[in-house]
Structure 1
């Protein structure tokens, strides 16, 4: 009885194991791959306007891309300040006003201005007396009539008066006082400050009636005739820089290109590992203002490179690609690398083993093929 039970149990386990072995194991289905082949019908081929060509050798300038801003040299940016503490009597300047060199920018007044002129006239009148006394004591000293001490004191008084008058004269000249009128006894109650350059007012920091100190900046005037581009170039690109290299740049939110040339290359590397490059504009433009941001391309030289028309290159998932002909109606998308661009052509770095001579590239109609490829993917 026991033998029969054991035999039945063994047969049952064997049969279960056989069934388990016979059941097929389901394999994971491979993920669908993105298609790179665009297939056209004859009608689509006619619509696409496909034009084939070869990778060409073109002379394209190699560029260094840099950011920067427009600036002016120190001598073209002027800050107007009061030479002494005073009140603003009058000014007609507004931000953006155009001023010429020598034009009055502000009038100042203060009682100390009157006192300074008064001190000058008083010392000048004393000068005549002290000069006469000095000459008199000098003659007496020659005849040994007076003591040498008296003569020396008269001489010191006269020379002190001359120094004081000379100092007051220089102070009054700094205040733009008309010295001829003052010597005639005409005291001015106000003084005028004049623009030292021709340019535009970029800052107004005062108003009529305000009290200003010599340390206060009243106005800022800039001469835009000498604008330059101040670029920031990374350390790795410094060996490629040379004087007189051509520079193309565009302002922020503009597509118009302007040109300049490298004039100075900085000799100090900043903490950000960059160097300042000073560029002179080829053409003055009154519409430009200091402080405008720009993007520039410094042309470092020409080289013969593999190139294709810009229309032959499309972007797929942030990767530049081209289409090559497999047959009349089949085209394969191939990833590449882009280099510099110039005059409608772009340098292309092709995959290893690419047959340049024997491969036809789509130079027109690439966007139609790309759209066709994307439509197929969506349908799948």
Structure 2
């Protein structure tokens, strides 16, 4: 009996130890499995997008571009035109505006009739011209007669000199009155038969667009009044305001990237002239010529410019193509697609990159070794792909 009791006691102890060992090992296995799952999901870099998700994210693909990035000067400015391309229309002698068809934005051609001005004084100008011209003919004949008499020693030298002075004075007056008529666009030869005009025509001196109409029909305009302003937009240029400290970096011919305040399109210009006077706010003006002229642009439009003072071509992508993933920066490369049933799934792979200088919305990237530089890269929608990739990792951690 004692021997059987001892045997039973030993057996119970062994069973108890065996159960404890099994329980102790089980959590280790589960921990190992969970760690394995986390490790597997923690390094996941591929993302799948259905056609619907692809469209909703607005994904756009492109390639890595060689682009000049480097030292730049950022500045603000306005579109402007040379003085000879901006004309203020006035009349040399006042009058009443009789007619005009101009409105702001109207396109006019050089030599086109743009207005008529009426003033009774114009008749007086024409009358004075004809009277002076008739007097000139008489004085010219008298001067020639006195020359003939002087040659025959018949008249006094003083008489000849007087006739000459009167003739030259009358000739000068006629020339002055003729120039006055030409200023108001009246042809002197057209009034010699007595057909006087009380109205004069105003013609456009350039081809361009009307930017200001300061008068209305019936109003009286003085010689100092500006009736209209016309601008020829064919030779618009960018006037940049650069701080004095950046002046040593400027050189003629440097490339300038121009962005209008009302347009995101990039336009290219070159530094043409550098101002030589520093204003009170310690800035200078830099005159830049646009490579491609655009007559639809409007003078006075605000703009921002980036002057490239020293740059080299580097591999680059738009800023939005590069996203921050933890402490790393990644881009997404298209891995093609595959078909799952009736649906096509787009595949993307995250690639960690090193970035360099940023300039004008683009950032230099150091292409990882082994990556194809011509690979299709996500230019727009990278953040949405990153969000889905990270949400997939969190789901993996939850298991």
* 1:8 match: none
SS at 2:305 equivalent: strand
Structure 2: runs of 5 or more not aligned: 1-37, 49-63, 331-353, 370-377, 395-399
Query: Is it true that 1:130 corresponds to 2:145 in the alignment?
Result: no
Confirm or deny: 8 A CA contact 2:118 2:200 kept in the other structure.
yes
Distance 1:92 1:127, change over 3 A: same
- CA-CA distance at 1:44 after TM superposition: 6.8
* 1:37 match: none
Q: Deviations over 1:14-67 (max 9, x none)?
A: xxxxxxxxxxxxxxxxxxxxxxxxxx77557548749xxxxx9x8752222111
Q: Which has the larger displacement, 285-294 or 196-205?
A: 285-294
Confirm or deny: 8 A CA contact 1:248 1:298 kept in the other structure.
yes
* 2:359 match: 341
- C-alpha separation in 2, matches of 1:304 and 1:129: 81
- C-alpha separation in 2, matches of 1:280 and 1:79: 23
SS at 2:141 equivalent: helix
* 1:171 match: 180
- TM (norm. structure 2) is 0.66
* 1:61 match: 69
* 1:155 match: 164
Query: Is it true that 1:116 corresponds to 2:134 in the alignment?
Result: no
SS at 1:217 equivalent: coil
Distance 1:114 1:303, change over 3 A: same
* 2:18 match: none
- CA-CA distance at 1:206 after TM superposition: 0.7
Q: Deviations over 1:300-330 (max 9, x none)?
A: 22248898884444499xxxx7459xxxxxx
- CA-CA distance at 1:247 after TM superposition: 1.4
Confirm or deny: 8 A CA contact 2:206 2:232 kept in the other structure.
yes
Match of 1:243 among 249, 252, 256: 252
SS at 2:137 equivalent: helix
* 1:35 match: none
Runs of 4+ in 1 over 6 A off after TM superposition: 304-309, 363-366, 369-372
- C-alpha separation in 2, matches of 1:286 and 1:215: 30
Q: Deviations over 1:199-252 (max 9, x none)?
A: 000001111111111111111000000000111122222222222222111111
Q: Which has the larger displacement, 268-277 or 278-287?
A: 268-277
Q: How does 1:121-270 map to 2 (within 5 A)?
A: 121-270=130-279
* 1:104 match: 113
Confirm or deny: 8 A CA contact 1:265 1:276 kept in the other structure.
yes
Distance 1:304 1:109, change over 3 A: closer
Distance 1:236 1:112, change over 3 A: same
SS at 2:201 equivalent: strand
Q: How many residues align?
A: 305
Confirm or deny: 8 A CA contact 2:77 2:304 kept in the other structure.
yes
Confirm or deny: 8 A CA contact 2:318 2:361 kept in the other structure.
no
Confirm or deny: 8 A CA contact 2:69 2:357 kept in the other structure.
no
Confirm or deny: 8 A CA contact 1:225 1:286 kept in the other structure.
yes
* 2:88 match: 79
- C-alpha separation in 2, matches of 1:127 and 1:368: 95
- CA-CA distance at 1:182 after TM superposition: 1.9
- C-alpha separation in 2, matches of 1:315 and 1:73: 50
- TM (norm. structure 1) is 0.69
- C-alpha separation in 1, matches of 2:358 and 2:322: 15
- C-alpha separation in 2, matches of 1:97 and 1:49: 56
Distance 1:206 1:41, change over 3 A: farther
- C-alpha separation in 1, matches of 2:240 and 2:265: 18
Confirm or deny: 8 A CA contact 2:88 2:226 kept in the other structure.
yes
- CA-CA distance at 1:155 after TM superposition: 2.2
- CA-CA distance at 1:134 after TM superposition: 2.0
Confirm or deny: 8 A CA contact 1:61 1:300 kept in the other structure.
no
Distance 1:307 1:213, change over 3 A: closer
Query: How large is the Cα RMSD of the aligned pairs?
Result: 3.7
